[in-house]
Amino acid sequence: MISAKQLKLTLVRSLNGRLKAHQQCARGLGIRKIHNPVTVIDTPENRGMINKISYMLKVEEA
């Protein structure tokens, strides 16, 4: 079985004062706190959310 590629996301800027859509993207990716890494599967849907809020994230391959 082939394992799916994973990405490690870390929020490096606050969600306060951001657009609601950007806050919802962070919530959809499972991000809750700043500097708390989250691992997600690399899918087109997740990539779209990551691209939308890329200015707030640090993205690494897991």
Whole-angstrom Cα distance, residue 2 to residue 16?
39
Tell me the pTM: 0.90
The answer to whether 9 and 61 have CB atoms below 8 angstroms apart is no
Which structural domains are found in the chain, ordered by start? 6-61 (3.30.1390.20)
pLDDT per residue as tens, the chain (62 positions): 567 899 999 999 999 999 999 999 999 999 999 999 999 999 999 999 999 999 999 999 98
